[in-house]
Structure 1
Amino acid sequence: MAGNRAVAYQGPGRVEVRDIDYPSFTLQDGPGVNPANVGRELPHAAILKVVTTNICGSDQHMVRGRTTAPEGLVLGHEITGEVVETGPGVEFIKEGDLVSVPFNIACGRCRNCKEGATGICLNVNPDRPGSAYGYVDMGGWVGGQAEYVLVPYADWNLLKFPDKDRAMEKILDLTMLSDIFPTGFHGAVSAGTGVGSTVYVAGAGPVGLAAAASAQLLGAAVVIVGDLQEERLQQARSFGCETVDVSKGDPKDQIEQILGVPEVDCGVDAVGFEARGHGAGAAQEAPATVLNSLMDLTRAGGGIGIPGLYVTGDPGGVDEAAKEGSLSLRLGLGWAKSHYFITGQCPVMKYHRGLMQAILHDRVQIAKAVNATVVSLDEAPEAYAEFDSGVARKYVIDPHGLVA
């Protein structure tokens, strides 16, 4: 049997590469595993040799110590891999298939899955609807920043690429299908983006850049991206976005300079609960800032998509309310303007096949938009530190040296 190594959370600010067990078709106990899931038999699962696995901003929240993640938790929910073994209940996925893994773990059998809401599957997390690999309070499924990983309900969850050689040529684009491309797309779609829309995306991290590229793909007339980091704003401009530096003041005023009016049709929150203030308050964490700002600058009747992460437990919250995910929102303003809001995990399966086709047929270059940067598994701790500094990169881990 092959060995296995993975990236594990070791406490605030620390990750390390360590030896872990090779996957088996029984869910084992370990850091973060829900006791009700221990011993769960998985004949419907597949074991993958990981080809690429990405570092996500959601991982960074845990590594900063801003969640209740336990030490030793194996990280990684953005996974692309080659099937090396299947359980006796797997019928259609075969050994040798190159596949994308949605970060949502879904059974395909419950009411929510059957209705397409795979981000809130009822059968994979004993604590609450919804699950993901290598993530706090998500049932304890082992993360994929590893050499090998197990994927349950393989026939349902896995997206097989139709041509392995062609897929490997575009692997840096296709690796984004596990999370950030569908998540950014979901944010743009949820906000109502269409042909001719004006769109403001708060946050120029990888999800924000993916949302901006998605808005362009959907036909937006103007896409404006706001952030505090000039390097990230430069990355947004590199593929045709307008930008605003929110450290210089209210984005609404800067949007008026671009559009001639101080509002947009659609707003996307790609920042989440670690938001900071605008202008003179940019140095201070203010978790409701982005949501309140979006209500202010989105036109009456417009939509706000919220792919940015909000949590129910934040030990580092700025006050007692924020520590349990309670924020001071101007909901009255949103009500008065008849806004609608869509939040929660992106249901990746709703989008990933279509986005795969857009990549394979050269309709979008998502890896270029997010500045995909390949590192080895051993370089992952350094990549985490660099990502935390605000660099404009999307780190792609290549555990087996398979990426050209």
Structure 2
Amino acid sequence: MASNRAVAYIGPGTVEVQEIPYPKLELQDGPGVNPANVGRKCEHGVILKVVTTNICGSDQHMVRGRTTAPENLVLGHEITGEVVEVGRDVEFIKQGDLCSVPFNIACGRCRNCKEGKTGICLNVNPARPGAAYGYVDMGGWVGGQAEYVMVPYADWNLLWFPDRDQALEKITDLTMLSDIFPTGFHGAVTAGVKPGSTVYVAGAGPVGIAAAVGAQLLGASVVIVADLVESRLAQARSIGCETVDVSKGSPQDQIEQVLGVPEVDAAVDAVGFEARGHGADAGTEAPATVLNSLMDVTAAGGAIGIPGLYVTGDPGGVDEAAKVGALSLSMGTGWAKSLSFTTGQCPVMRYNLGLMKAILADRVQIAKAVNATVIPLDEAPAGYADFDSGAAKKYVIDPHGMVA
């Protein structure tokens, strides 16, 4: 049996690569595993040799100590891999298949899954609807920033790449299908982007850039991306977006300079609960800032997509309300303008097949857009530190040296 190494959260600001058990087709006890999930049989699952696994901004929230994640939690919910072992009950996925793993774990059997709401499956997490790999309060399914990982309900969850050689040639694009590309696209879709829309995206990290790319695919006439970090704004400009530097003030005036009016048709929050103030308050954490500013800049009758992460437990929250996810929102503004809001995990399976086809047909180069940067597993701690500093990169971990 092969050994297995993985990236684990040690404490605020610290991750390390450590030896972990080789996966089994059974959920074992360990850091963050819900006790009701321990011993869960997964003959419907497979073992993957991880080809690529990405560092996500959502991982950074845990690594900063801004969640209730336990020490030694194995990280990683963005996974692409090769099937090396197939469970007894798997019918269609075969050994040797190269597949993308949606970060949502879904059974395919419950009411929500049958309605396409795979981000809130009812059968995979005893604590609440929805589960994910390597994430706090998400059932305890072991993360994929590792050499090997177990994926349950494989026939349902895995997106199979039909041409292995072509997939490996485009692997830095295809690795984005596990989370950020569908998530950003979902933000644009739920914001109501359509041909000709003007769009404002708060946050120029990888999900924000993916949302901008998604808006462009949907036919937006102008996409404006906002951030506090100039290198990230430059990355947005490199894909044809206009930009707003919110360290210089609230976005309305800058939006008006681009569009002639201070409002957009659709808006996306790709920042989440660690938002900072605008203008003179840019260095101060103010978790409701982005949501409130999006209500201000979205035209009446518009919609706001919210793929940015919000949590119910934040030990580092700025006040007691923020520590339990209670933010001071101007709902009166939203009500008066008849705005629509969509929150929650992206149901990746709603989008990943279509986006895969777009990648394989050379309709989109998402890896270039997010500045995909490939590193070996041992460099993951350095990748986390650089990403946390605001680097305009999307780190892709290559545990087995399979990326050309």
The two structures have a TM-score, normalised by structure 2, of 1.00
Q: Secondary structure of the equivalent of 2:341? A: strand
Distance 2:348 2:367 in 1: 18
Residue 361 (structure 1) shift: 0.2
Q: For each residue in 1:5-42, what CA deviation from the matched residue of structure 2 results, as whole angstroms up to 9, or x when unmatched?
A: 00000000000000000000111000000000000011
Amino acid aligned to 1:12: P
Q: How does 1:192-271 map to 2 (within 5 A)?
A: 192-271=192-271
Verify: 1:146 aligned to 2:146, yes or no: yes
Report the counterpart of residue 113 of structure 2 in structure 1: 113
Report the counterpart of residue 353 of structure 1 in structure 2: 353
Report the counterpart of residue 338 of structure 2 in structure 1: 338
Report the counterpart of residue 370 of structure 2 in structure 1: 370
Distance 2:48 2:218 in 1: 33
Distance 1:8 1:69 in 2: 11
Distance 1:250 1:360 in 2: 39
Distance 1:285 1:185 in 2: 27
Q: Secondary structure of the equivalent of 2:226? A: strand
Distance 1:34 1:379 in 2: 30
Distance 2:399 2:82 in 1: 12
Amino acid aligned to 2:331: L
Q: For each residue in 1:339-375, what CA deviation from the matched residue of structure 2 results, as whole angstroms up to 9, or x when unmatched?
A: 0000000000000000000000011110000000000
Report the counterpart of residue 157 of structure 2 in structure 1: 157
RMSD of aligned alpha carbons = 0.3
Distance 1:372 1:25 in 2: 32
Residue 77 (structure 1) shift: 0.0
Amino acid aligned to 2:10: Q
Distance 1:41 1:305 in 2: 36
Q: Secondary structure of the equivalent of 1:10? A: strand
Amino acid aligned to 2:258: I
Q: For each residue in 1:313-337, what CA deviation from the matched residue of structure 2 results, as whole angstroms up to 9, or x when unmatched?
A: 0000000000000000000100000
Distance 2:251 2:167 in 1: 39
Amino acid aligned to 1:134: G
Q: Secondary structure of the equivalent of 2:74? A: coil
Q: How does 1:167-186 map to 2 (within 5 A)?
A: 167-186=167-186
**Gap regions ≥5 residues in structure 2:** none
The two structures have a TM-score, normalised by structure 1, of 1.00
Distance 1:256 1:363 in 2: 31
Q: For each residue in 1:26-63, what CA deviation from the matched residue of structure 2 results, as whole angstroms up to 9, or x when unmatched?
A: 11000000000000011100000000000000000000
Distance 2:68 2:250 in 1: 33
Distance 2:139 2:215 in 1: 33
Amino acid aligned to 1:256: E
Report the counterpart of residue 101 of structure 1 in structure 2: 101
Residue 266 (structure 1) shift: 0.2
- Displaced runs of 4+ in structure 1, greater than 2 A? none
Distance 1:24 1:355 in 2: 31
Q: How does 1:241-320 map to 2 (within 5 A)?
A: 241-320=241-320
Distance 1:223 1:89 in 2: 46
Distance 2:42 2:99 in 1: 19
Amino acid aligned to 1:395: Y
